[in-house]
């Protein structure tokens, strides 16, 4: 299998590393507009070979992975359309899917290998030097096939994802973009707003000295590659704006309960209920069936089942403890607190 | 030196562990309303002895540390006022300082050992089982002496903080509360709002499955002990409300630039400038003199100076790289992107 990876940054190089390590007989050709990034990927053995152009990389490829910022995908598709093998599988790694799929179907009409993708892994460091073979272990990898896609093309992309240790979820593009706006794009915008607000304050010299773990965690995403962030935002504007609005409402509601003396009880209940739900979430209570992550799509058999059982036990334990705490608080502790 | 620690949760037990490990001849008496928490602290060797009441713990103590949720401080002061030695030093670990200092001065009028404190360390796990001897290493510890405090009392509290590895900063209470609202209390509220908003969404089953590192980081503080969070909020309402308002404005401004086609350039500039500032902050560019953290208050001599030099070099390197990147982007890359 010959794989062309266009864009050898963090994600592209990590895919290359993982495939070369785990798939026998794979041959990876890398290309990056930034020649230095391609050379680093080559040095790190993330690719077998560096191509001098996107078309050269793609010409013989069975699988093409576009691992570039979202807005670079369209011109890249224009560039390679003429040389793409008719039966090649083409996928991407962008964080917005509606626009990407629209471009793919527009520029490669009738092509039956179009299966867009979104590996939900990353870190704030970027570039091939930060790449890791294990970057996708345990991560979700959303797969968004075009309606024309052959089942075999979907299988190829799914296999790549699972080989790299990810759990796949198939979704349609609109659904993906709405969800990801809430749990990925909004948090990024919230971090940018929080950091830039603090930074712009006249008290920043003092604030920056005092800022500890909480502020650091809450602003980590403000260090996201601005190119990537910009492209994501531009291709998922409406969903992001929608979630910013909902977030603002949530903040204003919290503020109301905080300052309103009548709201103090409500405020406490919100904090306690949120902490309880958060504990459940941390313990792996996710999804519709509320099974611990990892149990359902497991490919590891008994050991994993046991691990799932352990997580469930730990979770039940935590839930019981938290509920007890909440109940106890309601009954007696809360009274004592009213001094 | 006999130290009474009232409240043997994460902070109290960590102080006990640190003092017993690092101060020769110290004797630590612990008390907690929750007998089990006191017993765990004893088992972990965070205290030499568990007292049966707050008054018993305090009676002979040279130093009294109130390591309880902020709203529990006032009744505790009422309880121990009669038995506190006239020359005892009394301090606390609460995250709001104006109210605490007011209570201390009201309930212990004329007492010359009142030096409030705020060690800025913690984690979301709470209770003595999570305590660590090294919890305060590298953290800030704000010291807020009452105007009547003897210099020796200030020295005692400062020495405790530095012995535990923290860097002290002396401030007045109002100043402290305004700053901490911005960099600690607001992030906590922002995390609570973000998590409870997501949790309340009908799409939560899907959202929770997709939520990756970004959402996890941005909502970690939603797992804060609700008692602690409530007490902090109730004793620093106005400052927190003020910063929620500023945060809402920052989010709305970001949203405006996002959706407004005319704002796209502005939006990109904001992302790029924020990432640049964030890199600087991460590299240790903090404070008014913009010296790396750790350089100024160092007690380690040449080794630390070298470390500071290394940090500064790394920082300069990162700044230069980022500025180059930004400039290059402005000149050519940005043009190319306009496809």
Whether the per-residue pLDDT at A321 is higher than 90: the answer is no
Residue A292 pLDDT grade (very low, low, confident, very high; cuts 50, 70, 90): very low
Residue A320: the pLDDT is: 54
Nearest to B210 among A179, A199, A207 (CB): A179
Average pLDDT, chain A: 86
Token couple for B9? 């949760």
Which pLDDT does position A317 carry in this prediction?
52
How many angstroms away from the CA of A199 is the closest CA of chain B? 8
Q: Which of A229-233, A325-329, B138-142 has the lowest mean pLDDT?
A: A325-329
- Residue of B124, B136, B256, B281 best to disrupt the A interface, most CBs of A under 10 A: B281
- For chain A, the domains span 2-171, 177-337
Q: What is the pLDDT of residue A118?
A: 96
Q: What is the mean pLDDT of chain B?
A: 86
Q: Is B282–A223 a contact, with Cβ atoms under 8 angstroms apart?
A: yes
Question: pLDDT digit string (tens) for B45-56?
Answer: 999 999 999 999
First to last CA, chain B: 72
Looking at residue B122, its pLDDT comes to 77
Nearest to B119 by CA among B163, B85, B60: B163
A211 contacts on B by Cβ (under 8 Å): 183, 281, 286
Subunit contact A120:B212, Cβ cutoff 8 A = yes
Chain A CB contacts of B191 below 8 Å? 214, 218
Ramachandran class of B290: left when φ > 0, alpha when ψ lies in -120 to 50, beta otherwise: left
Question: How far apart are the C-alpha atoms of A96 and A83, rounded to whole Å?
Answer: 25
Query: Quick one: pLDDT at residue A289?
Result: 52
How is A148-161 classified by DSSP, letter by letter? Answer: T--HHHHHHHHHHH
- CA-based nearest residue in chain A for residue B239: A259
The third-level CATH classification (topology) of the domain covering A177-337 is: 6-phosphogluconate dehydrogenase C-terminal fold (1.10.3660)
Of A75, A189, A339, the CB nearest to B339: A75
Indicate the residue of A189, A207, A286 with minimum beta-carbon distance to B209: A286
* Predicted confidence band of residue A334 (pLDDT cuts 50, 70, 90): very low
Q: How far is B286 from chain A (nearest CA, A)?
A: 5
Instruction: Give CA–CA dist A309/A169, Å, rounded.
Output: 23
Percent of chain A beyond pLDDT 90?
Answer: 73
CA distance to partner chain A, nearest, from residue B186 (Å): 9
* From A182, A195, A215, residue closest to B274, measured CB to CB: A195
Interface test with B, best of A181, A249, A257, A274 (most B CBs within 10 A): A274
Give the integer Cα–Cα distance in Å for A156 and A1: 11
- Above 70 in pLDDT, residue A175? yes
Does A258 contact B189 at a Cβ distance shorter than 8 Å?
A: yes
pLDDT of residue A323: 54
Which pLDDT does position A235 carry in this prediction? 93
Across the interface, whether the CB atoms of A248 and B251 are under 8 A apart is answered: yes
pLDDT, tens digit, 9 for 90 and up, residues A259-291:
988 878 889 999 999 999 999 998 888 776 544
Q: Do B222 and A264 touch (CB under 8 A)?
A: no
Question: Which residue in B has a C-alpha nearest to residue A333's C-alpha?
Answer: B227
Give pLDDT tens digits for B219-243: 999 998 898 899 999 999 999 999 9
Tell me B95's DSSP state. S
Is A311 a residue whose pLDDT tops 70? no
Prediction ipTM score: 0.80
Test mutation, A32, A93, A226, chain B, max B CBs within 10 A: A226
A195 vs B233: CB contact, 8 Å cut-off?
no
Q: Pairing relation of β-strands B63-66 and B2-6?
A: parallel
Residues in B closer than 8 angstroms to A259, CB to CB, are 237-238, 241
Pairwise CA distance, residues B49 & B39, whole Å: 9
How many Å lie between the alpha carbon of A27 and the closest alpha carbon of chain B? 30
In Å, how far is B228's CA from the nearest CA of chain A?
10
Is the pLDDT at B43 greater than 60, yes or no? Answer: yes
* CA–CA separation, A248 and A244 (whole Å): 6
Which residues in A lie closer than 8 A to residue B278 (C-beta atoms)? 195, 219, 222-223
A17-21, A75-79, A325-329 — which is least confidently predicted? A325-329
Cβ distance A270 to B201 less than 8 Å, yes or no, reads no
Residue where the block lists tokens 């490919």: A299
B140-178 residue pLDDT tens: 999 999 999 999 999 999 999 999 999 999 999 999 999
CA distance B252 to chain A (A): 8
Mean pLDDT on A244-263? 93
Collapse the DSSP code of A218 into the 3-class scheme (helix H, G, I; strand E, B; otherwise coil) and give the result: helix
Which of A258-261's residues contact partners 24+ apart within 8 Å by CB, and which partners?
A258/B189, A258/B233, A258/B237, A258/B240, A258/B241, A258/B244, A259/B237, A259/B238, A259/B241
pLDDT for A170: 94
Cβ pair B55, B83 in contact under 8 A: yes
Q: Which of A36, A42, A37 is nearest to A16 (CA)?
A: A42
pLDDT at A310: 39
pLDDT-derived band at B305, boundaries 50, 70, 90:
very low
Choice among A12-16, A143-147, A173-177, A297-301 with the minimum mean pLDDT: A297-301
Interatomic CA distance for residues A41 and A18, integer angstroms: 12
B82-141 pLDDT, tens digit per residue, is 999 999 999 999 999 999 999 999 999 999 999 999 999 877 678 999 999 999 999 999
pLDDT tens per residue, range A102-146: 999 999 999 999 999 999 987 777 899 999 999 999 999 999 999
Contact A120 B203 (CB under 8 A): no
Q: Is the pLDDT of residue B315 over 60?
A: no
Q: Is the pLDDT of residue B8 over 70?
A: yes
Tell me the shortest Cα–Cα distance from B25 to chain A, in angstroms.
32
Summarize the confidence of residues A211-227 as an average pLDDT: 88
pLDDT score recorded for residue A126: 82
Question: For residue B207, what pLDDT is reported?
Answer: 92
Distance from CA of B292 to the nearest CA of A (A): 10
Listed range (A155-164, B163-172, B210-219) with the worst mean pLDDT: B210-219
pLDDT for B163 = 97
Q: Rounded distance, CA B270 to CA B76, Å?
A: 48
**For position B270, what pLDDT does the model report?**
92
- Please tell me the predicted confidence (pLDDT) of residue A125: 79
The helix or strand, by DSSP H or E, that contains position A253, with its residue range, turns out to be helix A237-259
Query: Number of Cβ pairs closer than 8 Å across A and B?
Result: 293
Task: Give pLDDT, residue A122.
Answer: 77
pLDDT value at residue A306: 35
Residue A293 has pLDDT above 50, yes or no: no
CA distances from B123 to A214, A275, B13, B135 (A): 9, 14, 13, 9
- The alpha-carbon gap from A94 to the nearest alpha carbon of chain B, in Å, equals 15
Q: What is the CATH number of domain A2-171?
A: 3.40.50.720
Nearest CA in chain B to A230: B268
- Closest residue in chain A to residue B232, using alpha carbons only: A258
Share of chain B above pLDDT 90, in %: 73
Q: Which residues of B touch A252 (CB under 8 A)?
A: 244, 248
- Out of B74, B205, B339, name the one closest to residue A287 (CB): B205
| Owner of token pair 């008692």 | B227
Chain A residues within an 8 Å CB radius of B264: 234
Does A326 score more than 90 pLDDT?
no
In this prediction, residue B2 carries a pLDDT of 97
Q: Are A212 and B278 within 8 A, CB to CB?
A: no
Q: How confident is the model at residue A59 (pLDDT cuts 50, 70, 90)?
A: very high
Angle at B163 between CA B161 and CA B164, to 5 degrees: 65
Chain B partners within 8 Å of A201 (Cβ): 182
Give the residue with greater pLDDT, A310 vs B329: B329
Q: How far is A149 from chain B (nearest CA, A)?
A: 24
Contacts B189 to A, Cβ<8 Å: 251, 254-255, 258
Q: CB A214 to CB B187 under 8 A? A: yes
Distance (Å, whole) CA A29 – CA B252: 44
Disruptive mutation site among B251, B264, B295, B325 for chain A (greatest number of A CBs within 10 Å): B251
A242 chain-B contacts, CB cut-off 8 A: none
Question: Tell me, what DSSP letter sits at residue A86?
Answer: T
Q: Is A288 helix (H, G, I), strand (E, B) or coil?
A: coil
Q: How far is A54 from chain B (nearest CA, A)?
A: 16
Q: What is the pLDDT of residue A212?
A: 78
Mean pLDDT, residues A156-166 taken together = 97
pLDDT at A313 exceeding the cut of 80: no
């Amino acid at each position: 299998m010959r794989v062309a990876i266009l864009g050898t940054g963090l994600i592209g190089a990590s895919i290359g590393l993982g495939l070369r390590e785990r798939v026998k007989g794979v041959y990876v050709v890398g290309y990056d507009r930034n020649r230095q990034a391609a050379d680093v990927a080559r040095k790190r053995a993330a690719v077998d070979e560096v191509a001098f152009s996107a078309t050269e990389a793609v010409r013989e490829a069975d699988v093409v992975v576009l691992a570039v910022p979202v807005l670079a995908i369209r011109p890249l598709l224009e560039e390679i359309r003429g040389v793409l093998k008719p039966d090649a599988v083409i996928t991407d790694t962008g964080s917005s899917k509606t626009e990407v799929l629209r471009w793919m179907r527009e520029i490669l009409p009738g092509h039956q290998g179009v299966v867009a993708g979104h590996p939900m892994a990353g870190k704030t460091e970027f570039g091939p030097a930060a790449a890791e073979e294990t970057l996708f272990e345990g991560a979700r990898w959303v797969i968004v096939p075009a309606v024309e896609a052959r089942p075999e093309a979907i299988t190829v992309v799914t296999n790549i994802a699972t080989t790299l240790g990810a759990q796949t979820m198939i979704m349609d593009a609109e659904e993906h973009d709405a969800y990801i706006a809430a749990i990925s794009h909004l948090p990024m915008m919230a971090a940018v707003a929080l950091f830039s607000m603090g930074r712009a304050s006249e008290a920043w010299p003092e604030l920056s000295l005092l800022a500890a773990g909480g502020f650091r965690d809450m602003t980590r995403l403000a260090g996201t590659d601005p190119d990537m962030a910009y492209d994501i935002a531009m291709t998922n504007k409406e969903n992001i704006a929608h979630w910013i609005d909902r977030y603002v409402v949530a903040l204003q509601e919290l503020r109301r309960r905080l300052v309103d003396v009548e709201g103090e009880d409500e405020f406490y209940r919100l904090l306690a209920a949120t902490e309880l739900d958060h504990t459940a979430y941390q313990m792996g209570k996710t999804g519709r069936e509320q099974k611990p992550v990892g149990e359902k799509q497991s490919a590891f058999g008994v050991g994993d089942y046991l691990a799932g059982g352990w997580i469930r036990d730990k979770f039940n334990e935590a839930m019981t403890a938290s509920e007890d705490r909440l109940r106890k608080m309601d009954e007696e502790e809360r009274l004592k607190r009213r001094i």
